[in-house]
Amino acid sequence: MSLYLIGDVQGCDSALGRLLDAVGFSPSRDMVYLLGDLVNRGPESAAVLRRLMALGGSARCLLGNHDLSLLAVAHGRRPPHRNDTLDGILMAADRAALIDWVRHQRMALHAHGLLMVHGGVLPSWTVAQTLSLAGEVEAVLRSPALADFLQEMYGNEPDHWDDSLTGANRLRVIVNALTRLRFCTPLGVMDLKTSGGLDTAPPGYLPWFDVPGRRTADVTVAFGHWSTLGLLLRPDVLSLDTGCVWGGCLSALRLGAGPGHHELIQVKCDQSQKPGE
């Protein structure tokens, strides 16, 4: 059995199909973990969801900010962005099944020695706390309270975690950390506006994974989301958003016995949007 991680697909189903073919993926034998942003900006979001649904238990998927945005648009809690490419899902005959599948995916996973998220992990969170907090969001996504949650999901405040947070503020911080985080202060105050590379950190801020004393430093964290960071393969972090939808590559990492033993497989994507669109 082979285990794979795949970065942000963002509606690029043809690239995903070519990548799975390139690694010789077998649903009866292998397992693939997709690190979120399955849909949007690319031209084939519905096809991506149908492909992953067909893979059943051999594909385990995280939700990214674009996947949550799909849910918000589908439930009338957010107007479509001018650059969204979600109509293939929203107008599909199987729309209800596609949307229902999305809301049953995960916000964080811990498997094979890896903690997997879409965006990042706040420095004060342990692995166990990260999974527990992710579970709080997952429970709401699967509940009758979904529409109300989506109405209150957006916003950059509060900008840091506090165990005493409750209600919408608590869930918003969890979502922002797990799906949008790039930079934060050593005390875990999030910057949710800067989207450039490592050299664009605001004064006093660091990449979340370089904060001294980060409590998940003892486990390898795999994530996507940060296309301007691109590929980063370190013993403690694996960054796999290589900008497929922006004209880059779609990347898969075949997991080996440990750091330095993973195999990178990439396919070129023919999309040409600009980051941030």
State the CATH class of domain 3-268: alpha beta
Tell me how far apart the alpha carbons of residues 221 and 231 are, in angstroms, rounded to a whole number. 13
Q: At what angle do helices 65-74 and 95-103 cross, to 10 degrees?
A: 130
Spatial distance between the Cα atoms of 37 and 181, rounded to a whole number of angstroms: 14
Model pTM above 0.75: yes
pLDDT at 276 (0 to 100) = 42
For the segment 234-255, what is each residue's pLDDT rounded down to a tens digit? 999 999 999 999 999 999 999 9
What are the extents of the domains in the chain? Answer: 3-268
* pLDDT value, residue 205: 98
pLDDT for the residue numbered 271 = 62
Rounded Cα distance between 142 and 104, Å, is 6
Name the stretches of the chain with pLDDT < 50.
273-277
Length of the chain: 277
**Which pLDDT value is given to residue 122?**
98
Q: How confident is the model over 84-105, as pLDDT tens digits?
A: 999 999 999 999 999 999 999 9
Output the six-digit token pair for 244: 């497929």
For residues 138 and 204, give the distance between their C-alpha atoms in angstroms, rounded to a whole number. Answer: 32
The mean of the pLDDT values for the chain is: 96
Tokens of 33: 């973990």
The DSSP string of the chain is --EEEE---TT-HHHHHHHHHHTT--TTT-EEEE-S--SSSSS-HHHHHHHHHHHGGGEEEB--HHHHHHHHHHTTSSPPPTT---HHHHT-TTHHHHHHHHHTSBS-EEETTEEE-SS---TT--HHHHHHHHHHHHHHHTSTTHHHHHHH-----S-S--TT--HHHHHHHHHHHHHH--EE-TT-PEE-S--S-GGGPPTT-EEGGGSTT-TTTTSEEEE---TTT--EE-SSEEE----GGGTSEEEEEE--SSTT--EEEEEE----PPTT-
Contact 52/39 with Cβ under 8 angstroms? no
Among all chains, which residue has been given the structure tokens 């875990």?
188
Residue with tokens 């992710």: 134
pLDDT at 274: 45
